[in-house]
């Protein structure tokens, strides 16, 4: 392995040297060629558009706009061209341009939103540019589609991503993403380039991301390039709306679970924009109006989230973004001398400066802070218990992108993050005694610093073959660990409609999450300290086939194999701890499988059919007698169908259908009765058989939605009807053995029944 | 188009395969179960050796017991050959009731079943403890059951190297509350404490309720009482084996191998120092 890493690093170095040479040649030749660059905007709001395709017809040259909305095409032969610009949900734009020798042509592009993107040229243009994309397992779900896919009346990013093949859940009521055998903590979740740690509401039912505040969602299910690091499985990168630069506008919606309001507009006195969006549930407000039975009080519960962003266009080459995000869930209950309060939340702030140094050199500097906490304080007639867990990071990232020439792109970056971890559990009865030590207390207070640097190159060797090579070096201060993550990918384009990709890489993760798979109650992040044998690591091997079986459809088939080293599970029998190893078990795992993803992005009918076939295995010396087992989220077959149909300008209908192998559960082979001293009856216990060795019946669910657009008091409005679980399939959440009496019974706890919901949305 | 048809055909096959769940298993694997606690200052008794039973049949505690195993405890420089409580369900005991388990002493357990299987375990008895603040007697249950006030704490001395203590409250008479008081009407004779969770199946099966205290003092948690009336309150200073099995007993319905302390079987060979006291819980309304 060491040898391989050395070879990869040598190769990267060679590429950089080659890049320098090519750059020199490029500079010499620059006078012979022209270049073209600029930003792509929504014509109404002047919101930058991410992932728009800019293509010079007939030249085989083109580019996608990046996360700043910036595109750049270099090494263009002088001459007259038709520029074609396309983007999902927008009208195709074409215009002619004449480029001269040595010209650096700046062009801001404005696209008009369209009801339906139907044209096949859109697909053709995208395919031309797609040929340059080497990154594997990357999926961009258009935000319009995310807004249309609703579960229980709420459109939700995580719920939508769960409808992709290879992304599993621990149950229908959990929004946690289990990507190709990885647990949710192995996903790098970025909001405007800052890390979000536990982005869930309702103890995991919904994600904290308000779809009205988001403009782009990019999911990398595996084999991600060196520019991303710190996680073993996947990357989810979410970009918030910049806000309209043209006029103040807003959108409000009333729903069953929550209501939301977003406002945006131009920044007065400057070239820029602002956006603010909020969402709040009102369960607590409703219960406060109801007359309560004092003997059966209802718990008080609420959640909210708030997104905000300021965008300053400082100059044609400089943009400054200030982003903020806050979410909180609170639950309070008081009855019969038992009372508790639980608070869970995220806070995040980020400042990003984007500077375009030249047509072909681009940089980002990001300074961010992120904080996640969960707190629980309970009191049972004077006996107190307390949980107070948190992770806080302060991070600085410098990223550069150098389009050396038409064939070669070099990305590099440096990241520094300061972490503070807090893990406090006090069951001693006296929460004031936290600092005094003694039984029933875990009080870990750890600090860590992480330094990372990466280099990544994309090289188009010829018309058919492209490479992506890179490496990422990490140093963690607390455990004094240095790791290197080599990453490599290649793409071979056989013909217009058929390409294969391969990817390999090592992915280290120093952070660990102590969590239960079913609920996000007390998820606690910890570093790998000196008690742990280094960070976790995954080795990923991915093979992808990309093809277009018929016009308008993309078909991807992915095969993957993932080895997981030094992963962890919560030791839920641990009563106290002084180190990370005291509260976690450590083991290893592997996952492999195949995914088929047939997607239609354009036309009246959009959506996808996804199928995943996967195996996941884990082995811990201290679990299941040391024998290998499949974790709870292992599902052999996983079929998902998503469809949205635009009937006309007023009516849209859609639906989602999932069919999955039943979830594994642990059976039992016999029972016994324990009796502590003085007990006359005792407690029945079962002796488990193979951990998660049995499967529940298959799980399936159909959700339908329909919406109608109309004018209300002159304002564009929409009513939305959702039916969750249309045919009332009560899947089993979990199965357990009831040993309360002498007769053992098998009990199933069922999931939610059919839930129709109605919501209304008004734009102003 | 042919490709698409093939894909959908494949998916249809998958649907068929995926639609099957495993039936609930009925396989039975017999295992030996041991529950043995040595209490400092008390005779060696209640050493239970049993077989686990099938899930498909009605559980019978009496039938699960091994009555013909050889059970030997060694420690304190002696060897104790135990006898079975032949007719009852109390398990094995040492005939000489004058021998009391000593504190800070290592004891080992060796069990040989009739078919030659050997089970062993080892415990070190904790240092003895004593009361500092006893449970008040009588003890008045708060008048406001929805918002009961906090009581004065009870407390005890620390046992060396023990950070976790167990409290048990055993109702000594669940039927005749009024018998112990003057001027009580007949309707007050049987007095369980009603709470929303007392409807749970099996809640009143056991007359003893337990609590876990990582401290040497505790307020009285009223929810530990199931009935009004006379109670025995005991505080245990358990060794790690006892503590782990308590966690198994109270928190987990499924056996966890990390909580067992005997070799060759499921279960516990643990010990504890114990203090006991009695109290009378008066109901909240006269």
In A, minimum Cα distance to B271 occurs at A677
What pLDDT, on the 0 to 100 scale, is given for residue A32?
82
Distance, CA of A632 to CA of A649 (rounded, Å): 44
* Number of neighbouring beta carbons within 10 Å of residue A98: 11
- Which is higher by pLDDT, A433 or B29? B29
Query: What pLDDT is attached to residue B84?
Result: 94
Q: Which residue has the higher pLDDT, A575 or A353?
A: A353
Using 50, 70 and 90 to split pLDDT, how confident is the model at B187? low
Distance between CA atoms of residues A439 and A576, nearest Å: 7
* pLDDT tens for each residue of A173-213: 777 788 998 988 899 999 999 999 988 887 767 788 888 88
- Check if A694 contacts B (Cβ < 8 Å): yes
Min Cα separation B132/chain A (Å):
18
A404: pLDDT strictly greater than 60: yes
CA A161, CA A373: separation in Å to the nearest integer? 25
Give ipTM to 2 decimals. 0.90
| % of chain A beyond a pLDDT of 90 | 45
SS3 of A161, please? helix
Residue B8 has pLDDT above 60, yes or no: no
- Model confidence pLDDT, tens digit, residues B43-75: 999 999 999 999 999 999 999 999 999 999 999
Q: Which has more pLDDT, B235 or A157?
A: B235
> Per the CB < 8 Å rule, is A686 touching B59?
no
The percent of residues in chain A predicted with pLDDT above 70, rounded, is: 90
The rounded distance, in Å, linking the Cα atoms of A65 and A81 is: 19
Q: What pLDDT band is residue A91 in, cutting at 50, 70 and 90?
A: confident
Structure tokens belonging to residue A557: 């088939």
8 Å CB contact of B149 and A609: no
pLDDT number for residue A115? 64
* pLDDT confidence of residue A519: 59
Q: How do residues B205-218 score in pLDDT, each as one tens digit?
A: 899 999 988 889 88
User: How high does pLDDT run on average in chain A?
Assistant: 86
Summarised one tens digit per residue, pLDDT across range A304-318 is 999 999 999 998 889
Closest of A488, A483, A482, A452 to residue A470, by C-alpha: A488
Mutation for A interface: B4, B156, B214, most A CBs within 10 A:
B214
What pLDDT digit, counting tens, does each position of A538-553 carry? Answer: 999 999 999 988 888 8
Q: For residue B146, what pLDDT band results from cuts at 50, 70 and 90?
A: confident
Q: Which long-range contacts (CB under 8 A, 24 or more apart) does B94-102 make?
A: B94/B43, B94/B44, B94/B45, B96/B43, B97/B43, B98/B43, B99/B43, B99/B44, B100/B40, B100/B41, B100/B42, B100/B43, B101/B38, B101/B39, B101/B40, B101/B41, B101/B42, B101/B43, B101/B44, B101/B125, B101/B271, B102/B40, B102/B75, B102/B76
pTM: 0.87
CB contact under 8 A, A689 and B29: yes
Give which of A758, A674, A746, A756 is closest to A708, Cα–Cα. Answer: A758
Predicted pLDDT of residue A517: 59
Write out residues 108-137 of B within 8 Å (CB-CB) of A: none
Three-state SS string over A641-664 comes to EEEEEECCCCEEEEEEEEEECCCE
How far away is chain A from the Cα of B244, in angstroms, using its nearest Cα?
A: 8
pLDDT at B204 over 80: yes
> Does A103 contact B at CB distance below 8 Å?
no
Rounded CA gap, B243 and B5, in Å?
61
Please name the residues between 235 and 274 in chain B that touch chain A, using a CB distance below 8 Å: 236, 244-250, 252-259, 266, 274
Q: Are A213 and A260 in contact (CB under 8 A)?
A: no
Which residues of A are less than 8 Å from B208 in CB distance?
Answer: 676, 678-680
Mean pLDDT of chain B: 87
Residue ranges of B 134-193 with Cβ closer than 8 A to chain A:
142, 145-151, 153, 163-164, 168, 170
Burial classification of residue A273, based on how many CB atoms lie within 10 Å of its CB (0-12 exposed, 13-18 middle, 19 or more buried): buried
What does the pLDDT read at residue A438?
56
Contact A744 B59 (CB under 8 A): yes
Nearest CA in chain B to A383: B219
Average pLDDT on A16-32 reads 52
Query: In the numeric block, which tokens belong to residue A400?
Result: 């550069």
- Among the partner residues B33, B39, B214, nearest to A428 by beta-carbon distance: B214
pLDDT of res. B181: 77
* pLDDT for the residue B2: 60
B280 vs A169: which has the higher pLDDT: B280
Hey, are the CB atoms on A686 and B254 less than 8 Å from each other? yes
Predicted confidence band of residue A8 (pLDDT cuts 50, 70, 90): very low
Q: Pick the residue from chain A with its C-alpha nearest to B213.
A: A428
C-alpha–C-alpha distance, residues A80 and A99, integer Å: 6
Which residue in chain A has the smallest CA separation from B63? A672
User: What's the CA gap between A55 and A473, in Å, rounded?
Assistant: 35
Nearest to B275 by CA among B170, B104, B103, B156: B156
> In this model, does residue A688 exceed pLDDT 60?
yes
Instruction: Kindly tell me the burial class for residue A729, based on how many C-beta atoms sit within 10 Å of its own C-beta (0-12, 13-18, 19 or more).
Output: middle
Mean pLDDT of A482-486: 96
Question: Smallest CA–CA separation between B55 and chain A, in Å?
Answer: 5
Contact of B214 with B227, CB cutoff 8 Å: no
Chain B contacts of A433, Cβ < 8 Å?
A: 215
CB A452 within 8 A of CB A476: no
Calculate mean pLDDT across residues A489-497: 89
User: Of A295 and B168, which is predicted with more confidence?
Assistant: B168
Q: Which residue has the higher pLDDT, B102 or A384?
A: B102
Determine, for residues A294 and B64 on separate chains, whether the beta-carbon distance falls below 8 Å. Answer: no
Nearest residue in A to B193, CA atom = A336
Residues of A whose CB is below 8 A from B4: 549-550, 598
**Which of helix, strand or coil describes residue B139?**
strand
Query: CB B253 to CB A685 under 8 A?
Result: yes
pLDDT in tens, B257-274: 999 999 999 999 999 999
* Nearest Cβ partner for B254 among A429, A550, A688: A688
What's residue A126's pLDDT? 63
pLDDT exceeds cutoff 50 at A84? yes
* Element housing A57 (H / E): none
pLDDT at residue A472 is higher than 50: yes
Say if residue A515's pLDDT is above 70: yes
Closest CB from B163, B202, B234 relative to A741: B202
Query: By CA distance, what is B12's nearest residue in A?
Result: A639
- Band of the pLDDT at B190, cuts 50, 70, 90? low
pLDDT > 90? residue A120? no
A-B interface: how many C-beta pairs under 8 angstroms? 244
Range of weakest confidence among A561-575, B127-141, B177-191: B177-191
Q: How confident is the model at residue A23 (pLDDT cuts 50, 70, 90)?
A: very low
Contact between B146 and A335 using a beta-carbon 8 Å cutoff? yes
- A746 CB within 8 Å of a chain B CB: yes
B145 vs A contacts (CB less than 8 Å) = 336-337
Write the residue in B58, B149, B257 that is nearest to A742 by C-beta: B58
When computed from its CA atoms, the radius of gyration of chain A, rounded to whole angstroms, is 27
The pLDDT assigned to A723 comes to: 92
Contact A36, A76 (CB under 8 A): yes
Burial class (CB in 10 A: 0-12, 13-18, 19+), B131: middle
Name the residue among B25, B217, B222 with its Cβ closest to that of A381: B222
**pLDDT of the residue at A5:** 46
Distance CA A3, CA B80 (A): 63
């Amino acid at each position: 392995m060491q040898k391989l890493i050395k070879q990869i690093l040598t190769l990267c170095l060679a590429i950089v040297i080659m890049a320098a040479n090519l750059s020199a040649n490029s500079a010499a030749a620059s006078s012979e060629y022209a270049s073209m660059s600029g930003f792509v905007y929504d014509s109404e709001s002047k919101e930058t558009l991410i992932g728009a395709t800019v293509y010079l017809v007939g030249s085989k040259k083109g580019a996608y706009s990046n996360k700043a909305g910036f595109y750049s095409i270099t090494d263009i032969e002088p001459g007259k061209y038709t520029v074609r610009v396309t983007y999902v949900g927008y009208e195709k734009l074409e215009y002619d341009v004449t480029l001269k020798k040595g010209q650096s042509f700046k062009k801001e592009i404005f696209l008009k939103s369209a009801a339906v993107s139907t044209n096949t040229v859109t697909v053709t243009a995208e395919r031309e540019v797609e040929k340059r994309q080497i990154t594997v397992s990357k999926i961009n779900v258009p935000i319009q589609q995310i807004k249309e896919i609703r579960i229980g009346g709420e459109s939700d990013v995580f719920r939508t991503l769960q409808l992709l093949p290879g992304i599993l859940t621990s149950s229908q009521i959990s929004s946690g993403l289990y990507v190709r055998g990885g647990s949710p903590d192995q996903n790098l979740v970025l909001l405007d380039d800052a890390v979000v740690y536990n982005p869930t509401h309702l103890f995991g039912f919904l994600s904290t991301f308000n779809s009205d505040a988001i403009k782009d969602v990019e999911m990398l299910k595996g084999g991600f390039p060196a520019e991303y690091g710190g996680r073993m499985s996947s990357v989810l990168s979410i970009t918030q709306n910049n806000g309209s630069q043209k006029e103040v506008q807003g959108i409000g919606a009333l729903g069953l679970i929550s209501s939301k309001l977003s406002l945006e507009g131009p920044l007065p006195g400057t070239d820029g924009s602002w956006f603010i969006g909020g969402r709040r549930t009102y369960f607590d407000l409703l219960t406060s109006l109801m007359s309560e039975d004092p003997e059966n009080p209802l718990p008080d519960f609420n959640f909210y989230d708030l997104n905000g962003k300021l965008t300053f266009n400082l100059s044609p080459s400089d943009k400054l973004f200030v982003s903020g995000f806050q979410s909180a869930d609170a639950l309070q209950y008081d009855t019969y001398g038992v009372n508790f309060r639980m608070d869970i939340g995220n806070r995040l702030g980020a400042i990003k400066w984007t500077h375009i140094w030249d047509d072909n050199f681009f940089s980002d500097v990001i300074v961010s802070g992120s904080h996640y906490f969960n707190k629980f304080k309970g009191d049972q007639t004077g006996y107190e218990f307390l949980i107070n867990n948190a992770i806080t990071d302060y991070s600085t990232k410098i990223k550069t992108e150098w389009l050396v020439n038409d064939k070669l792109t070099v990305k590099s970056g440096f990241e520094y993050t300061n972490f503070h971890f807090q893990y406090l559990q006090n069951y001693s009865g006296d929460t004031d005694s936290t600092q005094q030590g003694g039984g029933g207390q875990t009080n870990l207070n750890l600090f860590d610093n992480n330094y990372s640097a990466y280099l990544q190159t994309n090289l188009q060797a010829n018309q058919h073959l492209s490479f992506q090579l890179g490496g990422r070096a990490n140093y963690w201060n607390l455990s004094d660990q240095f790791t290197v993550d080599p990453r490599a990918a290649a793409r071979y384009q056989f013909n217009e409609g058929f390409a294969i990709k391969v990817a390999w890489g090592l992915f280290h993760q120093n952070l660990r999450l102590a969590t239960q798979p079913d609920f996000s109650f007390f998820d606690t992040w910890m570093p790998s300290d000196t008690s742990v044998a280094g960070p976790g690591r995954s080795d990923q091997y991915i093979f992808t086939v990309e093809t277009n079986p018929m016009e308008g459809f993309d078909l991807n088939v992915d095969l993957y194999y993932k080895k997981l080293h030094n992963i962890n599970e919560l030791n839920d029998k641990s009563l106290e701890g002084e180190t990370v190893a005291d509260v976690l078990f450590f083991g290893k795992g592997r996952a492999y499988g195949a995914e088929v993803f047939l997607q239609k992005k354009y036309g009246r009918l959009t959506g996808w059919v996804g199928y995943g076939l996967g195996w996941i295995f884990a082995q811990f010396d201290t679990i299941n007698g040391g024998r290998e087992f499949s974790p709870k989220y292992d599902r052999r077959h996983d079929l998902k169908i998503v469809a949205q149909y635009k009937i006309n300008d007023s009516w849209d209908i859609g639906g989602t259908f999932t069919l999955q192998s039943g979830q594994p559960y642990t059976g039992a082979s016999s029972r016994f009765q324990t009796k502590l001293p003085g007990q006359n009856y005792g407690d029945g216990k079962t002796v488990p058989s193979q951990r998660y060795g049995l499967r529940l019946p298959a799980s399936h669910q159909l959700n339908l939605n329909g919406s109608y657009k109309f004018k209300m008091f002159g304002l564009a409005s929409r009513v939305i009807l959702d039916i969750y679980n249309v045919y009332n399939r009560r899947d089993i959440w979990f199965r357990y053995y009831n040993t309360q009496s002498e007769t053992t019974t098998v009990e199933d706890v069922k999931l939610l029944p059919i839930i129709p919901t109605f919501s209304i949305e008004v734009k102003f | 188009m042919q490709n698409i048809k093939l894909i959908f055909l494949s998916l249809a096959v998958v649907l068929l395969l995926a639609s099957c769940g495993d039936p609930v298993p009925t396989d039975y694997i017999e295992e030996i179960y041991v529950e043995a606690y040595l209490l400092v200052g008390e005779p060696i008794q209640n050493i239970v050796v049993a077989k686990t039973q099938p899930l498909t049949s009605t559980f019978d505690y009496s039938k699960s017991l091994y009555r013909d195993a050889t059970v030997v405890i060694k420690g304190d420089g002696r060897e104790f050959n135990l006898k079975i409580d032949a007719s009852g369900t109390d398990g094995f005991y040492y005939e000489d009731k004058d021998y009391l388990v000593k504190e800070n002493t290592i004891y080992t357990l060796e069990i040989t079943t009739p078919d030659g299987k050997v089970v062993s375990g080892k415990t070190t008895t904790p240092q003895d403890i004593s009361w500092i603040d006893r449970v008040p007697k009588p003890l008045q249950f708060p008048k406001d059951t929805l918002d009961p006030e906090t009581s004065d704490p009870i407390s005890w001395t620390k046992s060396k190297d023990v950070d976790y203590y167990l409290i048990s409250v055993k109702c000594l008479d669940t039927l005749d509350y009024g018998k112990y008081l003057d001027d009580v009407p007949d309707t007050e004779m049987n007095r369980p404490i009603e709470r929303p969770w007392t409807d749970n199946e099996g809640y009143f099966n056991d007359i003893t309720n337990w609590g876990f205290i990582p401290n040497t003092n505790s307020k009285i948690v009223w929810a530990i009482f199931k009935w009004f009336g006379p109670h025995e309150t005991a505080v245990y200073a358990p060794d790690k084996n006892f503590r782990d099995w308590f966690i198994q007993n109270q928190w987990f319905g499924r056996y966890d191998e990390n909580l067992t302390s005997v070799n060759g079987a499921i279960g516990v060979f643990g010990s504890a120092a114990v203090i006991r006291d009695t109290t009378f819980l008066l109901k909240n309304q006269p």
